[in-house]
């Protein structure tokens, strides 16, 4: 736990010399305050100057979309025409469905727990949207599994991948452990990789933000979000909203 008083917020969108910038903070990782304030401190070398893009949409996308983009392309090595399975449909899932499509995936299969999440997956443009219980059937022969959930849903989806299929895990929303068998992994020579934004270089992160901003500016990428004035942060925090909350000053 950081010492209090403490300002959380790992990223933000603001202005520097009249230009719109995306910036990360060290909040939660290093001593110092984050972005949930009228003014935030960022390192100049971390700033990413943005094109003409809605700053609210960009704030909602931010590092969730960076993770989706890098997990699909850099770690997941997605190539055009492949079938991608996306588990869960929060911010990462919504971004992953749209970004997979933008990279040229042939087919995007989404599997999510709630009706609301499945509605988001449909709106994000998935070709097939199923409940998590049905992911094994829907994922048959897929090339790449984009997995922010882990746990039983990831095991079921991984078991349906084609021989040599890739499985990129970037979160554990459905469980810290996953009941995958050795025979499932080895008999199909599956490749399981972990992904974290924390391993990106400043340049990789800036390049990924630039890709996200370009797609957002073109209206091709967004995630559900709610806009809340900064002085409503306490209520928004305790409400534990399902979608992204963008605080504005």
By beta-carbon proximity to ligand NAP, the closer residue of 22 and 195 is 195
Which one among 50, 53, 92, 139 touches ligand NAP, defined by CB under 6 A? Answer: 92
Shortest separation between residue 19's beta carbon and ligand NAP, angstroms: 26
Between residues 26 and 106, which has the closer beta carbon with respect to ligand NAP?
26
Residues 12, 55, 88, 159: which binds ligand NAP (CB under 6 A)? 88
Q: Which residues pair with 24 in a beta bridge?
A: 11
Residue 59, interface with ligand NAP (CB under 6 A)? no
| Residues in 183-242 at the binding interface with ligand NAP, rule: CB under 6 A | 195-197, 242
Size of the site for ligand NAP (CB under 6 A): 26
Compute the least distance from the CB of residue 146 to ligand NAP, in Å. Answer: 10
Q: How many residues does the chain have?
A: 249
- Which stretches of 52-170 are DSSP H helices? 55-70, 91-103, 115-124, 135-138, 151-158
Of 91, 34, 32, residue with least CA distance to 62: 91
Instruction: Provide Rg for the chain, Cα atoms.
Output: 18
**Structure tokens, 153:** 């849903």
8 A C-beta contact, residue 42 and residue 24: yes
Is residue 175 within 8 Å of 148, Cβ to Cβ?
Answer: no
**Residues within the interface to ligand NAP (CB under 6 A):** 63-64, 67, 88-93, 112-114, 116-117, 132, 148-149, 170-174, 195-197, 242
């Amino acid at each position: 736990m950081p010492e209090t008083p403490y300002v959380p917020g790992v990223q933000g969108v603001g202005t520097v010399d009249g230009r719109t910038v995306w910036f990360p903070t060290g909040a939660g990782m290093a001593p110092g305050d984050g972005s949930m304030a009228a003014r935030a401190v960022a390192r100049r070398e971390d700033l990413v100057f943005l094109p003409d893009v809605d700053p609210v949409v960009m704030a909602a996308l931010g590092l969730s979309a960076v993770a989706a983009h890098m997990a699909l392309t850099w770690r997941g090595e997605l190539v055009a025409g492949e079938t991608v399975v996306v588990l869960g449909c929060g911010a990462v899932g919504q971004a992953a469905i749209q970004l997979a499509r933008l990279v040229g995936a042939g087919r995007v299969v989404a599997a999510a727990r709630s009706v609301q999440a499945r509605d988001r997956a449909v709106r994000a443009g998935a070709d097939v949207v199923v409940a998590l219980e049905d992911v094994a059937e829907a994922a048959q022969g897929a090339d790449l599994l984009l997995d922010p959930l882990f746990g039983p849903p990831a095991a079921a989806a991984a078991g349906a991948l084609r021989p040599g299929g890739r499985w990129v895990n970037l979160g554990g929303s459905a469980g810290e452990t996953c009941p995958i068998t050795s025979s499932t992994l080895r008999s199909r020579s599956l490749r399981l990789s972990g992904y974290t934004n924390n391993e990106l270089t400043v340049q990789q992160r800036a390049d990924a933000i630039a890709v996200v901003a370009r797609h957002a500016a073109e209206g091709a990428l967004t995630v559900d979000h709610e806009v809340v004035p900064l002085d409503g942060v306490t209520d928004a925090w305790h409400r534990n909203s399902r979608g992204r909350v963008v605080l504005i000053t």
